[in-house]
Structure 1
Amino acid sequence: MNRTRLLASAALAATSSLLLSSCAVNEMGLDDTGSNLDGYVIGAGSSAQGAAQQAWVAGFQTAHPHVTVDYDPSGSGAGRDTFMEGASDFAGSDRAYTLDELDEGRFGRCAPDSTVIQLPLYISPIAVVFRLDGIDTLDLDAATIAGIFAGDIVNWSDPAIAATNPDADLPDLPITAVHRSDDSGTTENFTEYLNAAAPDVWEWEADGVWPFAGGEAAQGNSGVVDTVGKGVGTIGYADASRAGDLGTVAVQVGEEFVPFSPEAAAAIVDASPLEEGRAEGDLTIAIDRTTQQAGVYPIVLVSYLIACEEYVSPENVEVVREYLAYIASEEGQQAAAEDAGSAPISDALRDRAMQAIESIR
């Protein structure tokens, strides 16, 4: 993954409009809030967390005006590589590190024997978005969604689409399926759903890299949404906060078709167990993509905040710990819900996350 690591390093080095910095907040001349917290921390990773990170950075820096938090939404794969290389204090990732990655990895800013804290603090549906004139929503089952993105269903008038949308005026129009060009946790979550819910159609395992050539590729969530929005007969997948005015798919679960919503996304997380074999502060969730539970939306992104349990240097450890605690708090979760449309975590998950955060040193 040398290319990915080079891109990650370049993304951190560049001064770009994507960098979410504290500069605007600090230049506002905020009054001293009484906080003596001081420091500068760098995060990188999930672009799906982008809008939420803007809200979190603004809220945290309002409370602690002497702190600088920079978050670069370079993508989950780049963020994980950056954190492993020690070029960031924390990472945002739309999937947790696997057990194999944890066993083999050396995390640059973590003490040699430190475990890694992985906290599922951003929960959001992944929207299947499309652009068809005069059609705002479609009902699709898992096999049809998988067939479209596998390239087996190539026209919007296909009988599989018409069968679940008898009242829609479907055009005789080629389908252009858009996927991510970068290593993406959104892609990994989406392909995990396709593989679990439609294994007879989707033959590939879950992966952050799109598994085959075909369709059209775009960089980041914003790139997919932009490409779908500017096309005709296009379809893609993206964090639901980016769906905007595009048409969206209601996904079949049991006998009903469920549109995306924060509540439906939160429901599947609360119904899923933690993965086995993880360290105490590693709260990786094993999402049940094939649930038949009513009102649950199965194409969900659970995005993680990742930090060292013990850092090599004590510098800025307190800032990292307090920033993650703010994100996990009711205030932080509500800020993300309002700005990014994410689902606030449950009280039970918050309690476990706070225990893990308190162990950071």
Structure 2
Amino acid sequence: MKLPLLGRIGAVALVGTLALTLSACGSDNAVDSDSSAGTGSSEAPASTLSGSLNGGGSSAQEKAQQAWVAGFQTANPSVTVNYTTSDSGAGRKGFLDASLDFAGSDSALNDEELASSTERCYGGAGIDVPVYVSPIAVAFNIDGVTELDLSADVVAKIFSGAITTWDDAAITALNPDAKLSGPIVVVHRSDDSGTSKNFQDYLSKTAPDVWTYEVSNTWPVQVGQGANGTSGVVQTIQAAPGTIGYADASAVGSLGKVSLGVGTEFNAPTAEGAAATVDASPRDDARAEGDVVIKVDRTTTAAGAYPAILVSYLVVCNTYDTQDKVDLIKGYASYVASAEGQEKAAGAAGSAPISETLRTDVLASIDAIAVK
């Protein structure tokens, strides 16, 4: 079955200049202004924050970051937040070499990165706070076909190169009414991508006999063609019939989308399905206090769950060198995790707002950020 993504666009008032540096097609995702914003503002305390923050990384977070930056700068007109869309690996690298104050990343810091964060964080450590939950759509371009049902085993065989034509018996058996023919062209990320890592993790957990490759931020199979960033993958699929790839569901537009086999159902990529999967997933209890990482349960059969998701993080230090930087980081991260910030992201990107339980823990981690 195919369920619609959240479609309500959150309107955000733009006060001052929206300093959001985005690569690729960022300018196509402008956040609408809300003429009603600011009413009753005389009753709210004026912001005392001022200065600038530089962040970057995850292209999956692009639309959400636009909404967050706009909303935060509206409430704090003396603050400038710059977010440069690239990829999760570049974001973590920029965070660790201190060229960025924070990173957006679709995978948490690994052990090596955590170890190297001590120097960058003035004797403290980097922490991950989950703020963006979204389905990864398996998107395709087939003339006359807008939806397909595929089991995890079949998806893994397509992306590993074991299934090479659309009229393969394994595909047509699940989609008897679809007109399918021709070769399959797989499109994958060519850069260091947390979306790739999450998608590979889904394949390795749900089809382990087929997907036997080590899960990493880079694509492990010499099949199909690579494209840079979320927008690169989507544009490549849009340009050529017969293609199939994976991308944050907020970015795939009118491309066909696969409903994935979950138990006895086939579930489309929806924010509700992503939220159901997070609810069924435990935390990584091996992480240090304040480092909130979700161990996504890819094999859940919870009703409506969609297990090919990414849980994307803000990566920040738990210590900074000045009180001004601490105040800016805490202010922005708290807004991102707030009910308002999550609602803005849901409207702009179709993401699933984090639960109140998760928000409580995330805000506690943010509140603990301090001066060295």
Please report the TM-score for the alignment, with normalisation by the length of structure 2: 0.87
Q: Give 1:156's aligned amino acid.
A: W
Q: Is the 8 A contact 2:103 2:315 kept in 1?
A: yes
Alignment of 1:292-303 (within 5 A): 292-303=301-312
Confirm whether residue 226 of structure 1 aligns to residue 235 of structure 2.
yes
Confirm whether residue 307 of structure 1 aligns to residue 316 of structure 2.
yes
Matched with 1:190 is 199
How far apart, in 1, do the equivalents of 2:348 and 2:243 lie? 27
Q: Which of 137, 142, 158 in structure 1 is aligned with 2:152?
A: 142
Confirm whether residue 268 of structure 1 aligns to residue 277 of structure 2.
yes
Q: Is the 8 A contact 2:284 2:295 kept in 1?
A: yes
Matched with 1:99 is 111
Q: Is the 8 A contact 1:83 1:107 kept in 2?
A: no
How far apart, in 2, do the equivalents of 1:18 and 1:162 lie? 36
Question: Residues 67 and 19 (structure 1 numbering): CA distance in 2 closer, same or farther, change over 3 Å?
Answer: farther
Question: Residues 248 and 70 (structure 1 numbering): CA distance in 2 closer, same or farther, change over 3 Å?
Answer: same
Q: Deviations over 1:295-333 (max 9, x none)?
A: 100100100011111113334221110100000101000
How far apart, in 1, do the equivalents of 2:345 and 2:265 lie? 29
Question: Residues 19 and 245 (structure 1 numbering): CA distance in 2 closer, same or farther, change over 3 Å?
Answer: closer
Q: Which of 92, 98, 102 in structure 2 is aligned with 1:90?
A: 102
Question: Residues 108 and 57 (structure 1 numbering): CA distance in 2 closer, same or farther, change over 3 Å?
Answer: farther
Question: Residues 357 and 80 (structure 1 numbering): CA distance in 2 closer, same or farther, change over 3 Å?
Answer: same
Confirm whether residue 110 of structure 1 aligns to residue 114 of structure 2.
no
Matched with 1:251 is 260
1:191 CA displacement: 0.4
Question: Residues 299 and 158 (structure 1 numbering): CA distance in 2 closer, same or farther, change over 3 Å?
Answer: same
1:186 CA displacement: 0.2
Question: Residues 146 and 230 (structure 1 numbering): CA distance in 2 closer, same or farther, change over 3 Å?
Answer: same
Q: Deviations over 1:52-96 (max 9, x none)?
A: 000000000000010000001110001011111111111110010
Q: Deviations over 1:149-171 (max 9, x none)?
A: 10111000000101111111112
How far apart, in 2, do the equivalents of 1:156 and 1:213 lie? 19
Q: Is the 8 A contact 2:213 2:220 kept in 1?
A: yes
Q: Is the 8 A contact 1:115 1:279 kept in 2?
A: no
Runs of 4+ in 1 over 6 A off after TM superposition: 30-33
Q: Is the 8 A contact 2:159 2:186 kept in 1?
A: yes
Q: Is the 8 A contact 2:118 2:125 kept in 1?
A: no
Question: Residues 232 and 194 (structure 1 numbering): CA distance in 2 closer, same or farther, change over 3 Å?
Answer: same
1:118 CA displacement: 0.9
Paired residue total = 340
Q: Which of 334, 350, 357 in structure 2 is aligned with 1:348?
A: 357
Q: Deviations over 1:152-209 (max 9, x none)?
A: 11000000101111111112x0000000010000000000011111111111021110
How far apart, in 2, do the equivalents of 1:89 and 1:108 lie? 14
Q: Is the 8 A contact 1:177 1:235 kept in 2?
A: yes
How far apart, in 2, do the equivalents of 1:247 and 1:278 lie? 38
How far apart, in 2, do the equivalents of 1:83 and 1:356 lie? 18
Q: Give 1:227's aligned amino acid.
A: T
Matched with 2:77 is 65
| Identical-residue share of aligned pairs (%) | 52
Question: Residues 115 and 78 (structure 1 numbering): CA distance in 2 closer, same or farther, change over 3 Å?
Answer: same
SS of the equivalent of 2:323 reads coil
How far apart, in 2, do the equivalents of 1:17 and 1:100 lie? 28
Q: Is the 8 A contact 1:136 1:247 kept in 2?
A: yes
SS of the equivalent of 2:266 reads strand
Please report the TM-score for the alignment, with normalisation by the length of structure 1: 0.90
1:250 CA displacement: 0.2
1:270 CA displacement: 1.2
Moved more, 277-286 or 307-316: 307-316
User: RMSD of the alignment, in Å?
Assistant: 2.2
SS of the equivalent of 1:316 reads helix
How far apart, in 2, do the equivalents of 1:16 and 1:304 lie? 18
Matched with 1:127 is 137
